Amino acid sequence: MAPQARQIGTAVKRARGSLVAIALLASLATAFVGDASATTAPGSIYQVRVNITDSDVLLVPHKQTGRVKTRYISADGRSAQFPRGVYLHFVFWNKGTRTYLPAIRLTDTRNANPYAKTRTLYKANKVKPGGHVSLYGNFYFRGAFEIAKLVDQKTLGRPVHVTIY
């Protein structure tokens, strides 16, 4: 009888050890999966209002609030700097008297994916006076961009410079 009790005790110890090992592996896997999804998850959408007038294109800076801790847009609205990976929702408001075509032109694509074709000009829909239109962008590489208004496929006025750092 003693040998059977000893075998049962050893089997219970092995089962207990296996369960502890499985629980440890499961907890480590969850910890690593949690970290991986946190670093690759997209950030929040940052909405940028862009006023288009007959003479200018200007970004409207956000007011400093508890939710927006960093000022990305300069006070004069002529330039902006955003961190890499930001997802921007541009809302172009036409305050002018003509119909314009808002566009984002990539001026520095050295850090873009060399295996994917990267366009250098992204256009929104035409916006009539008093109207607005949206354009979304996921800025996943560092570089320089310009926000401009186009008339007959030509840039009109000074563009706004945006840097992704």
What's the angle, vertex CA 13, arms to CA 8 and CA 18, rounded to 5? Answer: 125
74 vs 30, residue with greater confidence: 74
pTM of this structure? 0.70
User: So what's the pLDDT on residue 45?
Assistant: 81
Give the model confidence (pLDDT) of 108-133 as tens digits. Answer: 988 888 898 888 999 999 999 999 99
Find, among 26, 45, 48, 29, the residue nearest to 37 by Cα. 29
**What whole-number distance in Å separates Cα of residue 157 and Cα of residue 127?**
16
CA distances 5 to 9, 57, 63, Å, are 6, 85, 75
112 vs 22, residue with greater confidence: 112
Mean pLDDT of 89-109: 95
Mean pLDDT of 54-81: 83
User: So what's the pLDDT on residue 57?
Assistant: 95
Judged by DSSP in three states, 153 sits in: coil
Lowest mean pLDDT, pick from 7-11, 31-35, 102-106, 120-124: 31-35
45-164: CATH number = 2.60.40.420
